[in-house]
Amino acid sequence: MNRSATPPHVKPIPDPKPIGYAGDLLTVLSVAKIPPGTRVSLDLTLGSPPQPVSLLGKIVSVKAAGTDQVALVLRLHSTTKHQKALLSGIGSPGPMEPVAVHSPSGPSLSIALLMYNEVANVASVIEETLVFCRASLSDFEIIVVDDGSTDGSAAVVASYAEKEPRVRLMQHGTNRGMGAGIRTAIECATKDYFIYNACDGQIAATEIGRLLPVLKTADIALSTYSNQRETLTREAISRGFRIYLWLVAGIRFELQGLFLYPTRTARDLAPLIRANTFFFSFELVQRGIDRGLTIATTQMVCRDRVSGASKVANPRRILKVGKEALSFGLRNRVLRGH
């Protein structure tokens, strides 16, 4: 059996590492917190010389095994004598504490990761996003949009895409800007809701979980930062920017972190948006509001960059954002007859 032949309603265990076997119970390490009762499949390499072994079973319990992994205990189905002989060489796992795991739920979600020369950060961001999605979402995809990177970032993403079919790589031949990256991701998104994050690692994937409950009361979930540590100068600039958006573009909402947006509406509106900077996000949300969608806001945490420098905060780009906001405001006034 191979993964392409996995029976329906069976969940593959990603990257399982066997640590114990006794009777018909197999214990494997995995990043996926799969709830008890779930039918699963897994592919292992066992024995000497190494031999591929494909197995089916059902999760019996889940136990703690470190920060990023859990130990899945599963009862195997229909193992052959040869497979049992190979499994017997694994040994017995040590004592571990059980953990509570709930079935993944939440909306169908397309997560875009925007990348430009992030070779030092992209692997950890993808890993972190996969861990969150496998534990919290029943249906998801990760779309990495490479905006013309020249540092080998794309090769890192391609290696993940080969192992995990829910990770996809989209590439721009040249650097076209954040707005162009968001537009490409929206065009490729196939799930009910869309969200994007940067590959700089400043917003943890787990922060997406703060937005999910907001969808119970609004069509669009916005966020601001709960841990802003701005200097007086940066605070003045931020306040000035919000006032500017209100005066020239009629934008009254505040948006600092991630936001969740209905994909179908985003796909309808994206062709109307001319912005190529991060103003794309503001225009997309405002156009949604103009169409009658409701918004609600929560807070999330922004981390310090681990590596590299911001590619947004420079005078030339800020000036371009200002021009795009003004252009949007003028076009809106013309359409409304003001």
Asked whether 141 and 108 are in contact (CB, 8 A), the reply is no
Pair 217, 282 in one domain: yes
Task: List pLDDT tens digits, range 295-315.
Answer: 999 999 998 876 665 555 567
- Taking the whole predicted model, whether its pTM rises above 0.85 is answered as no
Task: Report CA torsion sign: 175, 180, 111, 280.
Answer: positive
Q: Give the CATH number of the domain where residue 200 resides.
A: 3.90.550.10
Pair 192, 313 in one domain: yes
| pLDDT higher than 90, residue 153 | yes
Q: What pLDDT is recorded for position 306?
A: 66
The rounded distance, in Å, linking the Cα atoms of 251 and 56 is 54
Q: What pLDDT is recorded for position 135?
A: 84
The DSSP secondary-structure symbol of 302 reads -
Pair 318, 208 in one domain: yes
The domain in which residue 48 lies consists of 3-87
Q: What pLDDT is recorded for position 5?
A: 47
User: Which one is predicted more confidently, 138 or 244?
Assistant: 244
Q: What pLDDT is recorded for position 4?
A: 41
pLDDT band at 70, cuts 50/70/90? confident
| pLDDT higher than 90, residue 200 | yes
Task: List pLDDT tens digits, range 2-47.
Answer: 444 445 467 888 889 999 998 889 999 988 878 888 888 999 999 8
CA distances for 128 relative to 91, 149, 205, angstroms: 30, 21, 6
Q: What residues contact 167, with CB distance under 8 A and at least 6 apart? A: 126, 130, 141, 142, 144, 157, 160, 161
The rounded distance, in Å, linking the Cα atoms of 301 and 91 is 42
Pair 152, 205 in one domain: yes
